[in-house]
Amino acid sequence: MEDLTPLTNLQQCSEGAPRKKKMTERQPLLLQSDASDYEGSRGSAARPVRSSPPDNTLVNVHSEDSLAVHAAASGSGDDEHGLTDKSNYNPTHHRTLEHPTSNFDTLIHLLKGNIGTGILAMPDAFRNAGLYVGLFGTMIMGAICTHCMHMLVRCSHELCQRFERPALDFSEVAFYSFESGPEGLRRYSILARRIVTTFLFITQIGFCCVYFLFVAMNIKEVMDHYYNIPLTIYLLILLAPMIMLNLVRNLKYLTPVSLIASMLTVAGLAISFWYMLQDLPDVHTVNPVATWVTLPLYFGTAVYAFEGIGVVLPLENNMRTPQDFGGTTGVLNTGMVIVACLYTAVGFFGYLKYGEHVRGSITLNLPQGEVLSELVRISMAVAIFLSYTLQFYVPVNIVEPFVKSHFRTTETRNLSATVLRIALVTFTCLLSICIPNLGPIISLVGAVSSSTLALISPPIIEMITFYNVGYGRYNWMLWKDFLILIFGLCGFVFGTWASLAQILNGTTN
C-alpha cells in the first residue's frame, strides 16, 4: 500500500488491445489507453511506457471483451469442466523479458511496495489493540497476508498453464478463475474482474485522501508555532499545486520525483524511529490489551499497512528465476518477514513511547520546536506530496479511457482527460475536508478495500480455481480458505463499522 513505490514499468495500450507476447523490463502493471493516442477503437497498438506506478496497487486494465474472447479461444469448453490438458505448458518458458529482474531487485521492489504511510500509523494501531495484542496480532496478520500472496501466485500459475498465458495480473486471475470454475459461476467472470478493478480504484482513492490529510496535518504542526490556521485552509491551499502536479501525464518525468520522495521517506522514518527509542518508559505504562470496541480499528490499520498484494504478480512475472519467488526461503517470504518485523517494531516502540497520546501518524507525535523533528515533518510532507501523483495514476487511468471514448476529436478527448484529473483531485480534497481524521480514515480504507483485496479475494479465487483439481486430503485447502474468508469478512464488517463510528463521532487523531 503505499508511498515507497516499486519502480516498475507501466504499459499503455488501447482498451481491449491484445497483449503483446514480448514483455518489457518489468511486467506492465497498468494497461490502459494513452492520453494522447486513444482513438476509441478496440484494436489500437500498444505502446510501452517506462514509468513508476503507484505503490500497492498495480493493476492491468483490460477490456472485458478481449478477456472473454481469449478465454473462449483457449478452449474452455473442451471437456465437462471447461478445461483442456495444459500439463505440458510452462508459462515461464514463454515470458520474453528484455531486462529480467534478479532476486535482489525483486526483494527491493517488494519492500518498497509494502512499506509506506501505513508504517507511520502502526503505533496508533497498537493503541487500538493493546501492546501485546498488537505485537502478536501484527505478526499473525503478516503471516496471513503473506499466505494470501502465495495463494494468488499459485492460482496465477495454475491458470496460466490452463489457458496457456505467459503471465496474468490480479484482475485477470479473478476473471480466468471464474471462466474455468463451476458452470454456474462462469457467467460472473467479467463481474469478478470488475469487482477487483473497482476495489483497486477505491483503494487508491482512499490512499489519495490519506495523502492529502497527511501533508496538511504535518504542515499544520510546523506552522502552528507561527500561525493558528484551521486544517481546512491548508487542504484548500494544497489543492492548486496538487492539481498542477497531476496534470503531468507522462510518468517518465516523475521518475526523479519518485526517487526524491523515497529518499525523504526513508530519512524521515529513520529519524522518527530514533526519537521513539529515546527514554522508553516501562511496558506497564501502556495497556497490554485494548477493548473489543477499538480492536476492529487495529484490524483496518494493520491490513491497510500490509496490503501490498498488488505488487506480487507483476514482480514474480518479471523475475529471471521466478521459481525463487515462492518457497520457504524465497523472495516473498524473505521480504514479508522484513516488512512484518519493521511494522511490529515501529508499532511496539511507538505506542510504548507515546502511549494513549499517540496520533494517526507517528510524525505528529515528535517534539515541537526542535529543528530535527520539524525537518522530519517537512520532509515527510514533501515526500507524500510528491508521491500523491503516483498513487493518483491508477484510478485516473481506470476511468480515463471510458470518459475519452465518449468524444471524437483529439482536442475534446484531451480536454475531457484534463477535466477528469482536476475533478478527481478535487474530489479527494473534498473527502479529506469532510473527514479530517487521519487514523480512522486509514482504518476505513484498510477495512473496506484492502481487506477485500488482501484477505477476501485470494481465498475465493483459490476455491474456484481448484474446484476441478481438488482441495487435497480431507479438503484441507477448502477449510483453510473458508477460515481466511470468514476472518476477512469479519474484519471488513466490524472494521468498517468501527471506523465509520469514530469518524461520525468526530474524534480527532
- What's the mean pLDDT in 446-455? 90
Residues 199, 184 contacting (CB under 8 angstroms): no
CA distance 437 to 452: 22
Residues 76, 83 contacting (CB under 8 angstroms): yes
Residues 175, 410 contacting (CB under 8 angstroms): no
Query: Max Cα separation, the chain?
Result: 74
> What is the predicted pLDDT for the residue at 72?
54
CA distance 28 to 137: 34
Q: What is the pTM of this model?
A: 0.76
Assess whether pLDDT exceeds 70 at residue 36: no
CB neighbours of residue 33 within 10 Å = 28
Q: Decide which of 79 and 150 is more confident.
A: 150
Domains in the chain with CATH codes: 10-504 (1.20.1740.10)
- What's the mean pLDDT in 486-498? 93
Cα dihedral angle (195, 199, 201, 206), rounded to 10 degrees?
160
Over residues 5-33, the pLDDT tens digits come to: 333 433 333 334 444 444 433 333 333 33
Cβ-count burial of 313 within 10 angstroms (0-12 exposed, 13-18 middle, 19+ buried)? buried
Over residues 236-245, the pLDDT tens digits come to: 999 999 999 8
What rounded mean pLDDT belongs to the chain? 80
Q: Which of 10-14, 193-197, 263-267, 310-314 has the lowest mean pLDDT?
A: 10-14
> Which residues fall within 8 angstroms of residue 369, CB to CB, at 6 or more apart?
225
Q: In terms of Cα–Cα distance, which of 450, 448, 458 is closest to 485? A: 458
CA distance 143 to 429: 35
Residues 66, 49 contacting (CB under 8 angstroms): no
Please report, rounded to a whole number, the percentage of residues in the chain having pLDDT higher than 70: 80
Residues 173, 151 contacting (CB under 8 angstroms): no
| Residue 92 per-residue DSSP state | G
